[in-house]
Amino acid sequence: MRTSPEDAINTTSTIYNEKAILQIISQQEKEGQFLLNGVSINNNKKNKYEDLPSGWGDYAYNSKQISKNNNIIKCGYKNSNKEGELSLQEIEHRGNDGIVYTHVKKIKPVDYNNLEKMIPGFTFLKDPCDPCQALNNPPNYNCPFELNVRGEKKGVSPIWKYLWGL
């Protein structure tokens, strides 16, 4: 069955909720990817837990696919049962345990007032606020920020400008 582009848009807009579409599109941009997947920060400290024993392969570290020293800042649930409000967290990878070799990480809360100091290229556009509110259900788009990422266009993505009312 063939349809014209206008008919396809009309049909799609009657099936899908505008807010859901905006949320999906926003999560594909650099701001949404920061909130969902986090950003790697270099704290200039050696992570003793990520050092490999002699004779183990280190290609992933040498090729920069895995970082030994960088922690990740991202939004995560405050409690471990994956319910409730989201908040900023710093994740420190602590290697693998010696029994079943599962990956061990230490998670600690991050004060959003320190984000501009911790993440190079991150700037609040208004006052400091919790950017994770945009991932709550329902989303709260009241914390505009700019995140300049290497290889991406500088400035705020158009979808986030729209959501933040800029």
For 103-137, the pLDDT digits (tens) are 677 888 888 998 888 888 888 999 999 998 888 88
Q: What count of other Cβ atoms lies within 10 Å of the Cβ of residue 115? A: 21
Strand partners, 147: 122
What mean pLDDT do residues 71-85 have? 75
In this predicted structure, what is the pLDDT of residue 124? Answer: 92
Which of 141, 121, 138, 139 shows the shortest CA–CA distance to 129?
141
Q: Are 86 and 132 in contact (CB under 8 A)?
A: yes
Single-letter residue type at 125: L
Q: Give the residue, 139 or 83, on which the prediction is more confident.
A: 139
Long-range contacts of 155-162 (CB under 8 A, 24+ apart): 156/31, 156/125, 157/26, 157/29, 157/30, 157/31, 159/22, 159/25, 159/26, 159/29, 160/26, 160/29, 160/31, 160/32, 162/22
Q: Where are the alpha helices (DSSP H) in 44-104?
A: 59-62
More confidently predicted of 5 and 159: 159
**pLDDT, tens digit, for every residue of 20-54?**
778 888 888 889 888 988 887 766 655 555 555 55
Q: What is the pLDDT of residue 145?
A: 92
Domain ranges of the chain: 23-164
Taking the C-alpha atoms of residue 142 and residue 159, their distance in angstroms, rounded to an integer, is 14
pLDDT level of residue 79 (50, 70, 90 thresholds): low
**What is the DSSP code string of 114-164?**
GHHHHSTTEEESSS---GGGGGSSS------EEE--TTS-SS--HHHHHHH
Average pLDDT over all residues of the chain: 77
Which has the higher per-residue pLDDT, 42 or 86?
Answer: 86
Q: Tokens in use for 92?
A: 């420190």
Predicted local confidence at residue 105, as pLDDT:
77
**Which amino acid, residue 45?**
K
Q: How many CA atoms lie within 13 A of 30 on its CB side?
A: 18
